[in-house]
Structure 1
């Protein structure tokens, strides 16, 4: 049995402005940096059993992971498979702009059409397959261990759906908070949710990712 504790990155200015980041390397803002320190303070060396830390190689995730890794004396293992969904022509646009400039694609993303390929991006199904394969690979490398995984809202959304057996098109009712801790257990190839949306370590400044597209951050 492997425990994967998925942590979404801290807030960026583009989160606040509701602008699609996707695979663009947008850094944390001041609140995001403070949130990274707050999630690090949640863990205590010698008390909390953590064997490894992985992160998306995008700066907003990696920089969120750094304080926790330093506190626990672990290295951060960067993995591009943990990146956000690649949104192609959507990246850099606000949600209002993408609906105005690319209305057909905006509808396909909003309605979660699994096989609609964005120009220069990934389809939802391609993204799902990438995320599941990456997390399965990490779990297989750490049997019986607890692993922290710093990543993005779309990765969290995909992991939750896979563990709960939800359709890719199902309406999202689960939270994707910045620096939330979201616990999965992977055993004999099966996934289950062991806890979701834990933000008890935050002291105000909660940023919810309830947005369209839900997995653009």
Structure 2
């Protein structure tokens, strides 16, 4: 069995309820609902051949990954490079102007303008470099089975576009991931192919 990569978003946090931009680690913990979502994710993956569980340095990602790892007798491997794209001066804001600024930069990234940067935050080039290098290291450690990587919605959508041969800018922009939603990738000779986007076959 070849390796597959499941990129899962963390469960609900207080910042999600406020629609606030929240990127700086370690960040807030899960809400009670977020913990239930994490347990439900573990239930969904109970019958899969999970060989490794990774999480970003954010508390919410680690708390989401923990039930999955426990179900399979594994530990959570916390790694740098998977954390959410850093929004800089927009951190903690939920006002219309901040969300519009975020969306404008994010759209430029999905369209290939990786020199663009969040105000006081990361550029697309910086995010792509750290994220793809981390995924490559993870993939090299596991030749078979399901690799679960718990991180964040924004960076998962970008990563899927950069990795998969059938994910483009339109999908990365339009298909927001709900809490504990996932993208499932499988390797192909020329890279990765997206099989599912939060339960929808591609």
TM-score range, shorter chain: 0.7 to 0.9
Kept in 1: contact 2:165–2:191 (CA 8 A): no
Structure 1 unaligned spans of 5+: 200-217
CA distance in 2, matches of 1:51, 1:110: 32
Counterpart check, 1:10 vs 2:6: no
Deviation, 1:37, is: 1.1
* TM superposition score normalised by structure 2: 0.84
CA distance in 2, matches of 1:123, 1:152: 17
Kept in 1: contact 2:153–2:177 (CA 8 A): yes
Give the 5 Å matches for 1:47-66. 47-66=47-66
Structure 1 residue runs of 4 or more that deviate by more than 3 Å after TM superposition = 105-108, 164-171
CA distance in 1, matches of 2:62, 2:24: 13
How many residues align? The count is 193
Describe the shift of the 1:161–1:176 C-alpha distance in structure 2 as closer, same or farther (beyond 3 A): same
- Counterpart of 1:76 in structure 2 is 76
* TM superposition score normalised by structure 1: 0.78
* SS at 1:41 equivalent: helix
1:109 to 105, 108, 112: 105
Counterpart check, 1:159 vs 2:159: yes
Deviation, 1:187, is: 4.3
CA distance in 2, matches of 1:114, 1:166: 17
CA distance in 1, matches of 2:124, 2:171: 12
Describe the shift of the 1:189–1:51 C-alpha distance in structure 2 as closer, same or farther (beyond 3 A): farther
Structure 2 unaligned spans of 5+: none
- Counterpart of 1:180 in structure 2 is 181
- Counterpart of 2:22 in structure 1 is 21
Describe the shift of the 1:67–1:171 C-alpha distance in structure 2 as closer, same or farther (beyond 3 A): closer
